[in-house]
Structure 1
Amino acid sequence: MTAPQAMAAARRGRPWAALLLLAVPVSAAALGPWLAGDATPGPGALPSRPPGAGHPLGTDVLGRDVLALVLQGGASVLASALGALLIGAVAGVPLGLLAAGPRRAFDEGVMRALDLLLAFPGLLVLMTLAATGHRDRYWLVTVAGLLQVPAVARLVRAAALAPGTRTVVEALRMQGHGWGYIHLRHLARQLTASLVTDFAGRFSVVLYLLASANFLGLGLPHSSPDWAVLIERNSDALFTQPAAVLAPAGLLTALCIGGNLLVDRALARQREPR
């Protein structure tokens, strides 16, 4: 096999690796709650026991079955990250398109306000939220999504500035089309690739932020089976019962890497000659 053929074969094989990496955590999150057994410690259950009979991944620090916890905890991870991304997109994309419009004063006002929000560290905001008693999951997801608005709006504005000055946009204005048609239909289609690429990477950022908050005890309660909470609860038993930490950590890693690889491959195929 020649070098070009080997490279082509590697490119063809890459989606399968990405799909496999992504399918494992997504399947665990989607099907796990129905497949998981009872994680409640049974009579005589010992904490931080290694894998053995009756417990394929051992037990955690509370004596609960790690496999059942891992299968139950993925749904909250996936739903929280996707919910925060959706909030960031719904608020950030229209703001970015508005800032890219012809009104320079509005552009300056929106960008300076978003710069102020961008200056706040995400974990500091979540710590302040927790200190005021707002530890509910919905608060955590909402604030994590709002923290993504400045970056999303800046990306959309930068990507829409050049297309917004092209002749076709001026022609659409002369034909009587309004702002909504030009920006939400014409310009938004041209921003799809940039937004998809950004959201793939931003998914990892949101996942890291939510996982860090849960790891520090700012989000979900300690009894939650969330993967980040499991890592935090069992970190002291890493050397005596590594499966309780490595299993949820591996699923979080596979979720980030698999999503990024799959999006990169999909965008690369759009550039390949047909």
Structure 2
Amino acid sequence: MTRPPTRTSRDATARRRRPWLAAALLGVPLLVALLGPAAAGDDAPLPGALPSRPPGSGHPLGTDVLGRDVLTLVLEGGASVVGSALAALAVGTLLGVPLGLLAAGPRRVLDETVMRTLDLVLAFPGLLVLMTLAATGRRDWFWLVTVAGALQVPAVARLVRGAALAPGARTVVEALRMQGHGWGYIHLRHLAREVAAPLATDAAGRFSTVLYLLASANFLGLGLPASAPDWAVLIERNSDALFTQPAAVLVPAGLLTSLCVGGNLLVDRVLARERGRA
């Protein structure tokens, strides 16, 4: 007679399955974003195509409110979603890492100046900043990505500063200073290795945060134009036709949700593995 599985064994089985679930949820929208533009055709409305038509012959996912093929738009729209999130994440990292290392230096005045200034940036709600930016007429992709990335700088700088000021890191830094090594050697060779792991883990989770912010901005009409095939734009553009043509809303919404959930599950898996090694 076999024993029923205990709670511990069920948890262990769930942990073993979680990487496959995370890979599937994250991999599907990423594959669509990377390979979709090459497989998509022309997104211009075909002659005689009617708006908001349900799936049928010639249109596997139906048409949107402008009479364009939804499948083509979905295949094209993932590239802007993933590309914008990665670009904003790169802006936040490129600005936040040097500021965090600067704040972790020996000068107390620089530390206070940098961190208090970043606290002011941290106090502003992201969507409010993007709404203000849109009100000034700056609605193009460059401004949307730049501001979304700048809003991530305080969190990235705090993470880098905390990792650089950890007791183990500070002991090695003091030893290197006593050996006569300069700022560049200490920060670019030693501290860069110390902050790489927490920064990479944070970047995986921060990707979902940036993705949510950019998708919200595009959904509210603060970013890309209404004719863009971006998934968030498609959801907003076709929301009025949800009950007559649900595929135009549910398919891009499902891909966005899968991208966020898959990224979060992957981060949870990495953090659990790191805790197991500690």
TM-score of the alignment, normalized to the shorter chain, above 0.5: yes
Q: Does 1:236 align with 2:240?
A: yes
Shift of 1:193: 3.1
Please give the secondary structure, in 1, of the residue aligned with 2:54.
coil
Q: Which consecutive residues of structure 1, in runs of 5 or more, have no partner in the other structure?
A: none
CA distance in 2, matches of 1:195, 1:226: 28
Equivalent position to 2:95, from 91, 94, 107: 91
Q: SS in structure 1 opposite 2:235? A: helix
Residue equivalent to 1:192 = 196
Residues 218-229 of structure 1 aligned to structure 2 (within 5 Å): 218-229=222-233
Q: Which runs of 4+ in 1 moved over 6 A?
A: none
* Cα displacement string for residues 162-204 of structure 1 (whole angstroms, at most 9, x for unaligned residues): 2476432221111112222222322232223322232222111
Asked if the contact 2:169/2:194 (under 8 Å) is kept, the reply is no
Question: After superposition, what is the alpha-carbon deviation per residue over 1:36-89, rounded to whole angstroms, capped at 9, x for unaligned?
Answer: 122222222111111122111111111111111000000011110000000100
- Does residue 151 of the first structure (1) align with residue 155 of the second (2)? yes
Report the equivalent of 1:68: 72
Counterpart in the other structure of 2:11? 7
Matched letter for residue 31 of structure 2: S
The residue number in structure 2 matching 1:268 is: 272
How large is the Cα RMSD of the aligned pairs? Answer: 1.9
Report the more deviating stretch, 68-77 or 3-12: 3-12
- Which of the numbers 144, 150, 153 marks the counterpart of 1:140? 144
Q: Given that residues 48 and 60 in structure 1 are in contact (C-alpha distance below 8 angstroms), is that contact kept between their aligned partners in structure 2?
A: yes
* Structure 2 CA distance for aligned equivalents of residues 167 and 131 of structure 1: 49
Asked if 2 retains the 8 angstrom alpha-carbon contact of 1:197 and 1:263, the reply is yes
8 Å CA contact 1:18, 1:259 repeated in 2: yes
Residues 51, 57 of structure 1: 8 Å contact kept: yes
Counterpart Cα distance in 2 of 1:185 and 1:271 = 26
Question: How far does residue 248 in structure 1 lie from its aligned partner after superposition?
Answer: 0.6
**More displaced, 134-143 or 8-17?**
8-17
> In structure 2, what is the equivalent of residue 115 of structure 1?
119
User: Matches of 1:267 and 1:122 in 2, distance apart?
Assistant: 27
Using the size of structure 1 for normalisation, the TM-score is 0.93
The residue matched to 2:268 in structure 1 has which SS? helix
Deviation track 1:136-170 (CA, whole Å, cap 9, x = no partner) reads 10111111111111111122212322247643222
Secondary structure at 2:46 match in 1? coil
Distance in 1 (CA, whole Å) between partners of 2:209 and 2:230 is: 17
- Give the number of equivalent residue pairs: 274
Check whether the contact 1:164–1:187 (CA below 8 A) recurs between aligned residues.
Answer: no
Aligned position for 2:213? 209
Q: Say if 1:166 and 1:232 are closer, same or farther in 2 by CA, change over 3 A.
A: same
Bigger drift between 17-26 and 154-163 goes to 154-163
Once residues 169 and 97 of structure 2 are traced to their aligned partners in structure 1, the CA distance between those partners, rounded to angstroms, is 18
CA 1:74 to 1:154, structure 2 compared with 1: closer, same or farther past 3 Å?
A: same
Corresponding residue of 1:28: 32
8 Å Cα contact 2:18-2:269 kept in structure 1: yes
Does the 8 Å CA contact 1:196/1:263 hold for their aligned counterparts? no
Given that 2:40 and 2:76 are in contact with CA atoms closer than 8 Å, whether structure 1 keeps it comes out as: yes
CA distance in 2, matches of 1:46, 1:2: 55
Consecutive unaligned residues in structure 2, runs of 5 or more: none
Map of 1:117-132 to 2, 5 A cutoff?
117-132=121-136
2:205–2:267 Cα contact (<8 Å) kept: no
> Aligned-pair distance for 1:119?
1.8
TM-score calculated relative to the size of structure 2? 0.92
> What secondary structure is seen at the aligned counterpart in 2 of 1:191?
helix
Secondary structure of the residue that 1:272 maps to in structure 2?
Answer: helix
| Identical pairs, percent | 78
